[in-house]
Structure formats: C-alpha cells, structure tokens
Amino acid sequence: MPNSSVSNNSNAVVSLAGVSKGYGSGENRVIALDGVSIDFSAGTFTAVMGPSGSGKSTLLQCAAGLDRVDDGEVRLAGANPARMSENNLTKLRRDRVGFIFQAFNLMPSLTARQNVELPLRLAGRTPGREAVDQALDSVDMLARAKHLPSQLSGGQQQRIAIARALVTQPQVVFADEPTGALDTKTSRTVLTLLRRITDEKNQTIIMVTHDPVAASYADRVVFLADGRPVDELASPTVDLVAARMAHLEPAC
C-alpha cells in the first residue's frame, strides 16, 4: 500500500501522499485516484498524461485544492487543504496558486490589463501598475494592455490568461490543457512561454495535457493509468512520450 505520510522532500511545492478519490456510491462508484503518492518540486515544469479516465484531471483538481480527497494527504504551498476552512482555502488558492485553462476565461468587457488586475482586486488589493506591467511584459503583451479579448487572437488571449495567473506571484501554476484550443503554431508559442517562465522565474508549473508535443516542453512527464502513476519520463522528447502513451492506451 502507498505510504500516506507527508513527503520529506523539502523542495516540494505540491505533494500527494496516499491520495485516493472516488465519485458515486455502491456499484456505480468510480475510483479516480487510487493511493497516489507524488511530489512536484519547486522550479520544475511537469506534464501529467494518461488515457481518458486515467485520473489526470482529478489529480490536478485535488492537488490544487479544488476538490477534497477521500483518503491520504495533499500539501499545497506548505498547507494542508483538508484542514482549512473554505474561506482560508479560497485565500490559499487566490494568493499562492495560479490557474490556466483551455478556455481562456477572460472577462469580455474588461481590457487585457483589467483582466490581469482581476485576481488582485478580488483579493481586496489595489493593483500596482508596475506589477501588472511586469506580468503583461513577461508574456509579451504589454503593448496590447488596452485591448478587449475580442480584439485579440486565441494565442494572445491565452497569454493574457497566463499573465493573470502570474500577477500574484504564485508558488505553483496549474495548467489544464492550456493549448487545447490553439492551432499548432500558436500552441508552440504558448509552450515556449511556459518553458521560459519556468527557466527565468523559477516558476513551478503542473500541466495536464494529452499532447506529446506539449509534454516535450516539460522537465518531467508523469503517466497515469487507472488512477495511479505508472511511469515517468525525464527530459522528454515527442517520440519518447508518444511511445510511452501508446503502451498505455487501451487496444481498440
């Protein structure tokens, strides 16, 4: 059985120890995570992959404190979400965690700058112009700060979403299929940006993806199957990732 004790990896920003999560009850109960123990170290870019139903989205949701676990323990930015009130958990996610989604989730009536400012305003903080400028500049979008989302391409909107995730200087950024709605060329631009943010800002990024090309930008790929990590790959290439995934996909 997996060890459910807290990880002793002092460099881990996110740790799961013996984490299990299921949905439904009785004969209809589905086990999404089955005793998962895994660490995500500071300043690393990790891709999480697996077949449909392998538990990768549930892993992200539990690791990010968006969903409560049934068993085991999650440590997120030094805190245990299970021991926090909903109010304190909301503050933890708001202040120490960034999120990037496949759907850009920008407010259509707000400019790019105002969208980036939003997390700070929701936290009751007055957005400093320098901090917002730095976030926009880090994604090469400072010149488009006054544009509405409708005036931006999909790739530009995703870059604004990344700036919004970075403006609070989070300890970890969770990215759920961040290039899923983008074409190949734009996807590579966004992935290069995520890679650069990891390298230059020592940002921790955990990305769920189904795309071997996207995974090849990460430092490490974790493969899930049936709710458990079954393989890892360091310094991944597209061909190596695709080959590992081919072994995990169920036969037709």
d(CA 89, CA 110): 27
Q: Which residues of 136-149 are buried (b: 16+ CB within 10 A; e: fewer)?
A: bebbebbebbebbb
Q: Which residue has the tokens 């990768």?
A: 56
Query: Two tokens at 182?
Result: 């983008």
Whether the pLDDT of residue 2 is over 70: the answer is no
pLDDT digits (tens, 9 = 90+) for 179-195: 999 999 999 999 999 99
Question: Burial level of 64, CB count in 10 A (0-12/13-18/19+)?
Answer: buried
Q: Does the predicted TM-score (pTM) go above 0.75? A: yes
pLDDT digits (tens, 9 = 90+) for 42-84: 999 999 999 999 999 999 999 999 999 999 999 999 999 999 9
Neighbours of 107 (CB within 10 A): 12
Whether the pLDDT of residue 250 is over 80: the answer is no
Structural domains of the chain ordered from first start: 43-68+80-248 (3.40.50.300)
- Considering Cα of 150, then 152, then 158, then 160, what sign does the dihedral take? negative
Whether the pLDDT of residue 166 is over 90: the answer is yes
**AA identity, residue 65:** G
Give pLDDT, residue 10: 72
pLDDT digits (tens, 9 = 90+) for 82-140: 999 999 999 999 999 999 999 999 999 999 999 999 999 988 888 889 999 999 999 99
Alpha-helical segments (H) within 35-107: 56-63, 86-96
d(CA 95, CA 100): 15
